[in-house]
Chains A and B, each alone.
Chain A
Amino acid sequence: MSASLEIQMIAIVVAAACALPGVFLVLRSMAMMADAISHTVLLGIVLAFFLVQDLQSPWLLIGAAVVGVVTVSLVELLNRTRLVKQDAAIGLVFPALFSLAVILISRFARGVHLDVDAVLLGELAFAPFDRVTLFGLDLPHALVTMSVILALTVAFITLFYKELKLSTFDAGLAASLGFAPAVLHYGLMTLVSVTAVGAFDAVGVVLVVALMITPAAAAYLLTNNLRTMLFLSVGIAIASAIGGYWLARLLNANIAGAMATVTGFIFLGVFLLAPQRGMLAIAQRRRRQRMEFAQSMLAIHLLNHEGSPEALEESRVDHLHDHIRWQPKFAGQVVGYATRKGIVQPQGGALRLTDQGRRLAQEAMLQ
């Protein structure tokens, strides 16, 4: 396999492994916690490295998982003291742990592959150079690691799908049914930590967050169905990975950064163009609804004042924008539309409600 192909395969596996837990992170509003964890796992890696002196050791993953859980626990602890709110707790814990890690690296781990810059950027381009032999096959180390993590992730989500779904949408109900939401919570966070560590070597801290959060967020704007959201997230993440790779090749730039950028572009596209929830769809719907709504408002307004002394005054076309907060131009459009639809009848400068209009008003009021 060519290096290019191998890199793309690694990228795909990383993307999928990140996008899956990302769905739950977005739904549970844990995005910034994931950001925190993806920074603090570095400390776990460093400490584990000091113990085993081997960058390939699985202990690094374990160290990272432990620190991930520690991070969540510390934030929870701080939050429970009520001395700081949760957002501040996150903002206190992770920079401290991350700084500690950075200092330990630059003081004691110089010259080892744990380069501080690499932490942030990661360099996928170098991934194929780091190889391992598995079942007689010569594979990049990153591919093996991430594939295992992906398998673990799929297993976790499949096994606990019901519980995850319930505890995400109704934690109280889940608890009362005996599923321990706290256990699931920590399980999810451990998964995030392990994924972050596996991915950091290849893509760095930044991209982990981008791949976890952004595709899931875009998917959430496209569907209400959890299963669909999971598939969409993975699909978008993979598309970002491939797209990012080629963009980076084009520009001769960092692959991880390019991938993050592409997730952003895709999100932007969805944000603007998603059916129903995209900005364009919303604007169109608003315009349509506004006119319909205005019809009802006009009908009700006329009905309310019908038969009263101010009726004539209130139904004058040119005074409509005094009583109802419409711009004169819009008021004209509403009246025109209403006249065409048979809701009102102009009567010498004022408006008279037709029977159809009266029915419309009464229906609107029943809602």
Chain B
Amino acid sequence: MDVGQILHALLFDYTLRTVALGTAILGLVSGTLGAFALLRRQSLMGDAISHAALPGVVLAFMLTGLKGPLVLMTGAALAGIAGVLLVIAITTHTRLKQDTALGIILSVFFGFGLMLLTFLQQNPDARQAGLNHFLFGQAATLLAGDVAVMALFGSAALALTLLCWKEFKLLSFDRDFGASLGFPMRRLEVLITVLLVVAIVIGLQAVGVVLMSAMIVAPAAAARQWTDRLGVMVALSASFGALAGVAGTAISSLASGLSTGPVIVLCISAIAVFSLILAPNRGLLWAWLRQRQHRQTFATVNHP
């Protein structure tokens, strides 16, 4: 299939269009909230939240018997928030550092989720088979209803981010100064973390628990290389995320049996590597060229 055919399919094939839309939304939202996470050095929190979401998804199904996106996402969100709260509790009340707390929550919650999942699978009811896809994602199974829920929560998250733009900027850059101005920085921190959880939860179906964290880090890291302005960075991050989502979906639909998660992650990683090397000014290639130029200038100055 050539590019033209792929584009045609994306636009006119109902299933592919739905899926692409879903992953685009995922990319937009995770790119946006990921930018703030990156700047606040909370990149790996995203990893912990995604892994922590697994038992939430399984429990939601176990308790309600329903497999609808709303139910599962709510379960995931609640578990994700619980994970964050526990990480904060561990770092606040003990001498353990944040990386250790993240590692504990990540592995314990995920292990618990796996235990519940396999416990469930004894259940001859085949409905829960879909839960498997939460590991690596299966965007191909996205239905219009799923995408609608993603769009709803995604746009709410984006709207709130836009609304609280300067407050979030203050939180990320100079928290104490913001507090001195009278803004409730702790509540803002809670809000931005909840939005991050929402961003992650939205993407779980498509990218899966294991790899969702990449969608938080990579678009933002890539975007940062191209600009020094926050607004542009966030917009770029969102765009990169969406691009990787759609591209990854399209590519993984070409081959059979490929989970979308890994393909999307490879796409966004490629974008990140490309940005790190080629972005003007910060890019490594330009830095190397600049160094060479300096050395040549220096050489000619010393050896006229």
Contact = CB atoms under 8 A, between A and B. Distances in A.
Interface stretch (A61-69, A89-97, A152-160, A290-298): A89-97
B44 A99 contact: no
B47 A91 contact: yes
**Chain A's interface: helix, strand, loop or mixed, by majority?**
helix
A100 B266 contact: yes
A252 B119 CA distance: 6
26 contacts: A31-B99, A31-B102, A34-B103, A39-B210, A83-B284, A84-B221, A84-B224, A90-B43, A92-B214, A95-B269, A107-B255, A117-B135, A120-B114, A121-B118, A207-B107, A210-B107, A213-B100, A217-B96, A257-B115, A258-B111, A261-B108, A261-B111, A263-B107, A263-B108, A264-B108, A264-B111
A85 interface: yes
Given A83-B224, A96-B214, 9 more contacts: A29-B100, A81-B284, A87-B44, A88-B41, A95-B265, A100-B266, A107-B257, A251-B115, A264-B108
B302 interface: no
Interface string B217-249: 110110011000000000000000000000000
A213 B266 CA distance: 28
A206 B111 contact: yes
For this complex, into which size category does the number of interface residues on chain B fall? Answer: 35 or more
Nearest to A209: B107
A259 interface: yes
For this complex, into which size category does the number of interface residues on chain A fall? Answer: 35 or more
A46 interface: no
A35 B107 contact: yes
Interface of A: 26, 29-32, 34-35, 39, 78, 81, 83-85, 87-88, 90-92, 95-96, 98-100, 102-103, 106-107, 110, 116-117, 120-121, 206-207, 209-210, 213-214, 217, 220-221, 247-248, 251-254, 256-261, 263-264, 267, 271, 277, 279, 282
Contacts of A267: 104, 108
B44 A95 contact: no
Nearest to A203: B111
B263 interface: yes
Nearest to B115: A257
